[in-house]
Structure 1
Amino acid sequence: MSNLSQRKEQLAAFDRLLTIMDELREQCPWDQKQTIESLRHLTIEETFELSDAILESNLDEVKKELGDILLHIVFYAKIGSEKGAFDISIVIDSLCDKLIRRHPHIYGDTEAKDEKTVKENWEKIKLKEKGNTSVLGGVPRSLPALIKSMRIQEKARGVGFDWEEKHQVWEKVEEELEEFKTEFNVVDGQEIDKEKATGEFGDLLFSLINYARFIDINPEEALEKTNLKFIKRFQYLEQSAKSSGKKLEDMSLAEMDVFWEEAKKLSIQTSK
């Protein structure tokens, strides 16, 4: 199929979606009732479902979840049109204009030979466009803390505020870990300053996230993969205990550890 034929199919599919959206808004009681506010939490849920599909490398599910998110985008635009605020063409044109402005190395005279320069230019242009008094002003307040840390660090790096070498970042991790151990590795029963401990632990996590970013590891993705791995192993433990006629609450840690080690070995064999 030629690029021209493919583009015609894409435009026809999008036109079909817009037509269906118009019909649903006019005829379906549920769709008629929805507002931008009522759709918000559903959009968040769909985004997490897309994230799950990506982590599972399930392209068929990625395709489905992208469709759900596209529906939400068209839905918001339809409501915006009804309010006389914007429609889908304005949304798309605004996006196109932004992409052109923020890629001056493609659509202008600026040179950018590597990804680092592209990101730096993007952040500088974004800061100027939004009129923020701070580089960090564009970081959403409601972002989960771990992802927010990543974005804060990336934005700071975009204007040159960053470590030069990865060993410097790791030294910072070790420094924060030592501070935490020294002050809060106390004997059992001894009270600690909870507020101060929380702050120090936050510093440690922030430095670890920084190091992960520096060696091109997405810490949120890494943690989620570990979460999923733990869930699978724990569920194996539960099932193995049940098959043995035992309940977890009645088992010793040593007994549970036998099944846990089996789960670890099984996961290694499965990954080969």
Structure 2
Amino acid sequence: RIDGILGTNVLHHGVLELDYPGGHVRLASSPERLPARGAGQPLALIGAWMPQLAIDSGGRTIGSLLLDSGSMGALSLPSSLRASLGVTDVASGRGTIGVGAHGPVYGSKQAFAWPAATIGGRSFVGVETVAHDTDTGTLGARVLRAYVVRIDYREHTAALWPSGAALPHAAHSFGFEWTAGPTPRVSFVWEGSAAAKAGIAPGQPITAIDGRALATMTAQARCELARDMSALASPSSRSFRVEGRFGARTIVLQRVPL
């Protein structure tokens, strides 16, 4: 639940620290009023407010990623940048790949494990990554949870510190994704997955998961279920009640690595 928003006109008057591992957001008029930290990984600022971190391969910079705490993913990047990394082993799919100013954005995306190229001087090998048809790449919340991020808007500087928490690895999936709105629907299907072979397709309504009717759940509970559905700590087998062209069906799927 969002009770209010602090805009950039307020944040530009001080320092913002996002302590994801500790579960804290700290605001201060100067860095001295925040916990003391050693030298962190400096971040470039776009437009003096949006932090980004460079990708390095063989001593050359091949791209950069924006820090996006609003993204529940790990890493994302344009498909053109994926090609420059030399990645060939990918999983592909189609459906909703984002939300724009005019509603859902439809297209394709690919998932793969991050290769040997470093990000901010740190190895991200094996971290789950999604490539898509946009021109922007992001470090999402699943990566940022392993860091403390500090942005000094007045001085136009930013840095991050590894917290010791592990980076997310081994992307797993039931073969599809779904939206958790008032009418939950399939939003994306990975090609060749068990979900695709079972006839699950984008746009189909989902009415129940593991026998629990989604309509009886609160909006918050549905969002948490969608967010955590593929987490390794969640059940590895689930049943889904899906409305298709031939009526309602209950489909049991196993969570497998992408």
- After TM superposition, the score normalised by the length of structure 1 is 0.24
TM-score normalized by structure 2? Answer: 0.25
The structure richer in helix per residue is 1
Structure number, greater radius of gyration: 1
The structure whose RCO (Cα within 8 Å, separation 6+) is larger is: 2
